[in-house]
């Protein structure tokens, strides 16, 4: 991580090595911006005792889509056992509840409790501010464009706008 946002000012001064060809590499760019963003996100969410991971699970639990743990694992690109740990903790805190799947009794759906929904509301404010900080170098239109392109790369056209 090793990123100096101590004073809260500069996100990153242009580095000598930016000139190297790796700055054209998609994987590197994604890793780097994700690293910057994770620090800010986790810092913003710490106030609510959440991290990026648990925040994601809470959002999906609160989506009304009643995801099963397997669906969470697939969607978040995590191992099913990691979902167990995340849901365990959120459930212990009374933020989400497990329910047996309606069609499939093996599966367990995860839904947010009222308490979880309230916490999420406050937390997502903080997350929004963190995201804005990551994107402070981009005007609003380009931020939207960046996110649209990421969605399209992941899932193809059809959902963006």
* Interface residues toward a copy of itself, by CB under 8 A: 1-3, 12, 14-38, 41, 52, 56, 59-60, 63, 65, 67, 71-80, 127, 130-131, 134-135, 137-138, 142-143, 145-147, 149-159
User: Which residue, 35, 19, 15, is CA-closest to 27?
Assistant: 35
Q: Which of 20, 34, 49, 81 binds DNA (CB under 7 A)?
A: 81
Among DNA, a copy of itself, none, residue 145 binds (CB under 5-8 Å by kind)? a copy of itself
Q: Does 84 bind DNA (CB under 7 A)?
A: yes
Q: What angle do CA 130, 22, 16 make, to 5 degrees?
A: 75
- Phi and psi (nearest 5°) for 132? -60, -35
Rounded Cα–Cα distance for residues 65 and 82 (Å): 20
The pair of three-digit structure tokens given for residue 144, joined into one six-digit string: 């939207």
CB of 130 to a copy of itself, least distance (A): 8
User: How many residues would you count in the chain?
Assistant: 161
- Phi and psi (nearest 5°) for 100? -65, 140
Stretch that binds DNA, among 95-103, 131-139, 140-148, 151-159 (CB under 7 A): 95-103
Nearer to a copy of itself, 18 or 49 (CB): 18
């Amino acid at each position: 991580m090793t990123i100096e946002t101590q004073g809260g000012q500069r996100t990153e001064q242009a580095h000598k090595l930016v000139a190297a060809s790796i700055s054209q590499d998609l994987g590197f760019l994604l890793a780097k911006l994700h690293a910057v963003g994770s620090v800010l996100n986790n810092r913003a969410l710490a106030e609510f005792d959440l991290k990026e991971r648990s925040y994601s699970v809470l959002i999906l639990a609160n989506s009304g889509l009643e995801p099963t743990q397997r669906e969470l694992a697939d969607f978040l690109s995590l191992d099913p056992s990691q979902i167990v740990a995340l849901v365990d903790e959120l459930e212990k805190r009374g933020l989400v509840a497990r329910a047996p799947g309606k069609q499939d009794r093996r599966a367990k759906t995860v839904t947010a409790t009222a308490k979880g929904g309230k916490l999420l509301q406050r937390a997502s404010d903080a997350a929004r501010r963190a995201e804005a900080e990551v994107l402070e170098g981009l005007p609003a239109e380009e931020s939207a464009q960046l996110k649209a392109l990421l969605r399209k790369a992941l899932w193809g056209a059809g959902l963006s706008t």
